[in-house]
Amino acid sequence: MTGADVLLLALGAVAVGSGALVVLTDHLVRAGLYLVVCLGAVAGLYLVLAAELVAWVQVLIYVGAVVVLLLFAVMLTRAPIGRSEDLNRPAWPAAIIGGGAGVGLAVLLADAYRWVEVAQGPPGTAELIGEAVFRTWVLPFEVLSILLLSALVGAIVVSRGQR
């Protein structure tokens, strides 16, 4: 157990705990706020795993933009502020499939990796990631920009409605 392991365990407990609250709570707005905690903890995990740039992009885009968009949607659909009773379907089938997927994957990965020790790679600074993006992954990067453009146009067309 090194210091990094302890940090990973602590942040992972926060992430999984708040993730559970996201899918279990009866308050729509609170689900969004728990999602902030969960995504923040995952950003902390990225930092411990030496992925600096991705951690800050996670904070900027997920915590900053995606959650704000989701909370906008909560407000625009006039969701009740208090607890709502009609958010869920029966939990049993979902619990069996979700729990099966989660525990199954966990057992599989734990069995595959046992308790091997892996050396940390170089920290993923903006310089390193930028080089990887623009030397090796240029084409996916450009395709992604076209995808963003089409998502933008699509969102505008869908929300304009038929007039």
Partner 1 sequence: MHPTIPYVIAALLFGLGVFGVLRRRNAILLLMAVELMLNAVNLVLITAGGTHGQTFALFVIVLAAAEVGVGLALILQLYRVKTSVAVDEIDLAEKS
Give, as ranges, the residues between 54 and 83 that touch partner 1 (CB under 8 A).
Answer: 54, 57-58, 61-62, 65-66, 69-70, 72-74, 76-77, 79
Contact yes or no for 122/50 (Cβ under 8 A)? yes
Q: Cβ 81 to partner 1, closest distance in Å?
A: 14
Does residue 37 belong to the site contacting partner 1 (CB under 8 A)? Answer: no
Contact residue for partner 1 among 81, 83, 95, 142 (CB under 8 A): 95
Q: Cβ 112 to partner 1, closest distance in Å?
A: 8
115 alpha carbon, distance to own chain's centre: 26
Does residue 85 belong to the site contacting partner 1 (CB under 8 A)? Answer: no
Does residue 22 belong to the site contacting partner 1 (CB under 8 A)? Answer: yes
Q: Which is nearer to partner 1, 82 or 86 (CB)?
A: 86
Residue/partner pairs of 70-75 with CB below 8 Å, 24 or more apart: 70/32, 70/35, 71/29, 71/32, 74/28, 74/29, 74/32
Q: Which residues does 136 contact at the CB level (< 8 Å), separation at least 6?
A: none
Contact residue for partner 1 among 82, 93, 139, 163 (CB under 8 A): 93
CA–CA gap between residue 22 and residue 32 (Å, rounded): 7
Report how many residues bind partner 1 under the rule CB under 8 A.
90
Residues 115-154 contacting partner 1, CB under 8 A: 115-122, 124, 128-129, 132-133, 136-137, 140-141, 144, 147-148, 151-152, 154
> CB atoms < 10 A from the CB of 15, how many?
19
Residue with tokens 């900053």: 64
